[in-house]
Amino acid sequence: MTSVYAEAGFLIPMDGRRVIRDGAIYSEDGRIVAVGRREEVKEQALSPEHVIKLERGIILPGLINTHVHLAQALIRGVVPDDIELIEWLRDWVWPLQGVYDEEDGRASAELCISEMLRTGTTTFLEVHVHKRYGFDGIAEAVKNSGIRGFLSKSVMDQPGYATQQGIMHPGMIEGPESLQHFKEYHRRWDGEADGRIRVWIGLRTPGACSDDLFHESARLAKELDTGITMHLAEVRADIDYFKSRGTTPTGFLERFNLLGRKRVYIHCVWLSREDMRRMAATGSSVAHCPSSNLKLGSGLAPVAEMREEGVNVALGTDGGPSNDTYDMIREMKLASILQKGRTLNPKSMGAWDVLEMATVEGAKALGMEREVGVLKPGMKADFITLSLDRPGLHPISDPVSLIVYAANGLDVRDVVIDGRVVVREGVLQTLDEEEVMKRARERLEKVLEKDGRLEEVKSRWQR
């Protein structure tokens, strides 16, 4: 029997807006057995295999990142910072990723997963695993690392973006067979690693999929009871595309039966109130990625209004060149203060709101609200600890405020997933960080050689 006992000065179970002083949690065989005050939980934790004690610290559910590009960790800092989305994709991201091989894809995935684990993410949703990245190798990396990963196979059959056709790098183009590849990977990997791996459909974007492919993807997702994720209404160009089709973002999705539970739409910067109401009525979810939206100049997502209309809004970091971190704690702060500034209302997005987005609402988006996102008996033992033992987090007062506005991912001390300790006292237990970083450096150089930009990028580094 694998068992973990953890205690800390504060425990935030996320089963409502409450904080337990001198809290503790105990798990056996991957499930939570007891949560509550230290003296109560200790009675059930007779001989735990692992003991975690953090007097000046916090226990809370593992964070859930609902929008990740695993392949982009490798090209962080390589893609120029100050260009708009379509140019960014066409001239840099797609050409670089378009020369990847399976070794490059796995190296980037392991780098990304290492960062996510060290900063408290226990579950993530990857949007586009291209066949050339090596789906099997990436799934193996998820399995070995101990993280909970939803891997979406990239599905497309047209090389365009919104109203612009034929702009995608040839190495990124897949055809109708991409859906067949999804079926093969779903059969091979969905439910593997004791259920930690799930395989979803990652629709490329409107403009990159034919109507037939949208229809077939919706049919197949229903048949397999799997999820769908897609970028939606990220920039104004997306709205131009929907107008050219005589519809709106959610009108388009409705046309192809793409709204509903386990449907996660990314960004949604340009939704109308009517779009929001349709999303809410169908149980569809939004993955809000404020850092990416701001860095790429895409706009300010109306998240406060989405939540008013009842939309389930979760949080995501996006990828390496657009954020440029996979740190969900940093993302929570930006998500909160962005809405306060946008609405001129400091009450529009509080610390509790964004903490729910990063846990409870992330779980709901993935259809896992009965399994993760909350600490209570019977749920999966996915939890993290944060140390408050540094000047920037003192004096210790409101723990929720400290997490959201003062902490960052490097304050994460321990990470437990499925009852397995995968980070202990800040040290990753399942991957060799030094080897992961060394391999990433080597593979980036190979990618730049293949793309013909090695000397250009090296000269930029040397200045």
Query: Could you give the percent of the chain with pLDDT greater than 70?
Result: 98
Q: What is the rounded average pLDDT of the residues 179-208? A: 96
Q: State pLDDT tens for residues 424-457.
A: 999 999 999 999 999 999 999 999 999 998 888 8
Q: Rounded to whole angstroms, how far apart are CA atoms 4 and 245?
A: 54
Decide: residue 461, CB within 10 A, 0-12 exposed, 13-18 middle, 19+ buried.
exposed
Angle made by CA atoms 20, 22, 26, in degrees to the nearest 5: 85
pLDDT recorded at residue 189 = 98
Domain ranges of the chain: 3-61+373-428, 63-365
Q: State pLDDT tens for residues 231-250.
A: 999 999 899 999 999 999 99
Q: H or E segment at 385?
A: strand 383-387
* 460 has pLDDT over 80: no
- The three-state secondary structure class of 259 is coil
Q: What is the rounded average pLDDT of the residues 82-105? A: 92
Top mean pLDDT of 64-68, 79-83, 454-458 is at 64-68
Q: Rounded to whole angstroms, how far apart are CA atoms 335 and 353?
A: 10
Among 3.20.190.10, 2.60.40.1930, 2.30.40.10, 3.40.630.10, name the CATH number for the domain at 3-61+373-428.
2.30.40.10
Rg (CA), the chain: 21
pLDDT recorded at residue 446 = 96
Q: State pLDDT tens for residues 158-179.
A: 887 766 676 778 888 888 899 9
Other CB atoms within 10 Å distance of the CB of residue 427:
10
Q: Rounded to whole angstroms, how far apart are CA atoms 259 and 286?
A: 11
Q: Nearest-CA neighbor of 359 among 374, 347, 340, 346?
A: 374
Q: State pLDDT tens for residues 330-388.
A: 999 999 999 999 999 999 999 999 999 999 999 999 999 999 999 999 999 999 999 99
Q: How confident is the model at residue 463 (pLDDT cuts 50, 70, 90)?
A: very low
- Cβ atoms of 198 and 190 within 8 Å: the answer is yes
* 78 has pLDDT over 80: yes
pTM over 0.95, yes/no: yes
- What lies within 8 Å, CB to CB, of 319 at 6+ separation is 68, 69, 71, 72, 73, 292
Q: How confident is the model at residue 286 (pLDDT cuts 50, 70, 90)?
A: very high
Q: State pLDDT tens for residues 127-137.
A: 999 999 999 99
Q: H or E segment at 105?
A: helix 102-118
pLDDT recorded at residue 169 = 82
Q: Rounded to whole angstroms, how far apart are CA atoms 305 and 302?
A: 5
Q: Which residue has the higher pLDDT, 104 or 170?
A: 104
Helix segments in 283-432, DSSP class H: 290-295, 303-308, 320-323, 328-343, 351-357, 360-365, 399-401
Token pair of 439 as six digits: 């391999």
- What lies within 8 Å, CB to CB, of 351 at 6+ separation is 332, 336, 398, 400, 401, 403, 404, 405
Does domain 63-365 correspond to CATH entry 3.30.70.250? no
Q: What is the rounded average pLDDT of the residues 43-58? A: 94
Query: Could you give the percent of the chain with pLDDT greater than 90?
Result: 88
Q: State pLDDT tens for residues 21-44.
A: 999 999 999 999 999 999 999 999
